[in-house]
Chains A and B, each alone.
Chain A
Amino acid sequence: EVQLVESGGGLVKPGGSLRLSCAASGFTFNSYSMNWVRQAPGKGLEWVSSISSSSSYIYYADSVKGRFTISRDNAKNSLYLQMNSLRAEDTAVYYCARSHGWTPSNYFDYWGQGTLVTVSS
């Protein structure tokens, strides 16, 4: 059974940093692209970042480019999102999602339960 479990969310002050993790199990992690998608309270889904299976291709939404860094450790079956210079508008539930295949442009077929990030002073 495919499982994606996010962790690392919490309360952080504006300008601060946070590192999210996503532990994957139930599939061959190094064969799939992975993604982060967020959802602000009461709002819709917003794609944040994608990384290909071998980390060769990495993409970011303009809203986070230069502040967030996506990475993965295939040996640990884990996906990460390093978030720096956080702003109030980054407050959201962050979901880890698997792409259906090695390329980031494949649809998201599995999602984690999400982890809440709150940016507030």
Chain B
Amino acid sequence: QSVLTQPPSASGTPGQRVTISCSGSSSNIESNTLNWYQQLPGTAPKLLIFSNNQRPSGVPDRFSGSKSGTSASLAISGLQSEDEADYYCAAWDDSLNGWVFGGGTKLTVL
């Protein structure tokens, strides 16, 4: 059971906009910034969004993040086949004194 809650799956057709939610608590998402990682099949995770809504250089602006209270979401607009991957949210937890991850969301591009 992950500390952060994500839907196990999401899907969309090319060009569509999809959102992935991440729910936590006052000790993690509400108190600290939220980050998203993308893991393409068979590869290591890669930083996608940091500090709630910031994109590292090289990440397309089709990807955006937001946070409100104890929840956050990742939005992907103009969905492309290469976006098919697992997506994880993560935050530092002040109560656990460690990082907590969501269980991951498998995005399928139909």
Contacts and interface: CB of A to CB of B under 8 A. Distances in A.
26 contacts: A35-B99, A37-B45, A44-B2, A44-B88, A45-B39, A45-B88, A45-B90, A45-B101, A46-B101, A47-B98, A47-B99, A47-B100, A59-B97, A59-B98, A95-B44, A97-B45, A100-B50, A104-B92, A107-B35, A107-B51, A107-B90, A108-B37, A108-B90, A110-B47, A111-B45, A111-B46
B92 A44 contact: no
Contacts, number: 58
Mostly helix, strand, loop or mixed at chain A's interface? strand
Contact of A105 (B32, B86, B88, B101): B32
A85 interface: no
B50 A109 contact: yes
Contacts of A47: 90, 98-101
Given A45-B101, A107-B35, A109-B47, 14 more contacts: A44-B86, A44-B101, A45-B90, A45-B104, A59-B97, A60-B98, A105-B92, A108-B35, A108-B45, A108-B90, A109-B50, A111-B46, A112-B44, A114-B44
